[in-house]
Amino acid sequence: MAQATALIKAYMEGTIPDNGGFVLSAVFDPGSIYSIYECTAYRNVKDVTRTPDGIVFKSDGNRTHMLVEPPIYPLKHIEPVNRDDGHAIPYRFNELTILTGKKSEKIMVPEEPRMLYTSFTIADRRSDYFAYVFYPTPDVYVAIKKFLADSLYNDCNISKQDSIEAATAMLATIKKFVIWKAD
C-alpha cells in the first residue's frame, strides 16, 4: 500500500527514504485558483538538511510541474518561464500540454521532465502550501495520481473529470523520469 507523509514530518522523524522516492508539493495563490504543483523524484541521497528556504536534498533528481491558471489571469499571454516569482515554471508554451477545463481554467503540464544535478531544494512556505514524500512502493503511481486528482478537485475547484485528466497527464510525464522509477 502506497504511503505518503508530510515532508517536514518525515524530515523531523528521519524517515525520508534515501534509496529513492517522490516529493509532491504545491503552492496556492491566495484568493485565486492559480497554483503550481511540483513533483520531484530522487535516489541515492547523500544528505538532507533544512535551511531557511526549505529542505535541501544532496542527490540527483527529476522534476516536473503543473500550472493551474484561472480564466481571468491578466498575464496569460506571458510564457510561464518568464512570469514573476511565485507564478513561473521553467517551461515555454510549446513544451506544455495545455488542457482547458470546464470553467475555462488552463492546466499546463510539461511533456518532458527536467534533470536536477547534485542537489535540489523543496521550498518551505508557511501558508497555502503542502509537500509530501511518497515512499517507494509498487503502487506509488496510483497514489500520486489519486492525490493529484483529489487536490485539483478540492484545492483548485477543478471539475472531477478535468482533475482526473490533468492528473493522468502529469503522471505520464512523471513516468518519464529516469532518475528513479517505481516497479
Q: What is the tally of structural domains in the chain?
A: 1
Predicted confidence (pLDDT) per residue in 134-163, tens digit: 998 889 999 999 999 999 999 999 999 999
In a domain, 180, yes or no: no
C-beta pairs of 84-90 under 8 Å, 24+ apart in sequence: 86/27, 86/29, 87/29, 87/34, 87/36, 89/36, 89/65, 90/65, 90/114
What's the pLDDT at 180?
63
Using a 10 angstrom Cβ sphere, with 0-12 exposed, 13-18 middle and 19 or more buried, the burial of residue 145 is middle
Q: How far apart are CA 55 and CA 28, in angstroms?
A: 19
Domain of 93, in residue numbers: 4-174
Residues 63-77 have a mean pLDDT of 96
Which residues are 121's β-sheet partners?
56
In a domain, 126, yes or no: yes
In a domain, 112, yes or no: yes
Mean pLDDT over all residues of the chain? Answer: 93
Sheet containing strand 47-51, edge to edge, reads 47-51, 54-58, 120-123
In a domain, 183, yes or no: no
Look at residues 54, 55, 78 and name the one whose alpha carbon lies nearest to residue 67. Answer: 78
What's the pLDDT at 2?
78
What's the pLDDT at 78?
97
Residues 104-118 have a mean pLDDT of 95
Q: Which three cell numbers stand for residue 110?
A: 510539461
Contact by Cβ (8 Å): 5, 87: no
In a domain, 130, yes or no: yes
In a domain, 155, yes or no: yes
In a domain, 159, yes or no: yes
In a domain, 179, yes or no: no
Residue bearing cell 502529469: 170
Q: Which three cell numbers stand for residue 165?
A: 485528466
- What pTM value is reported for the model? 0.94
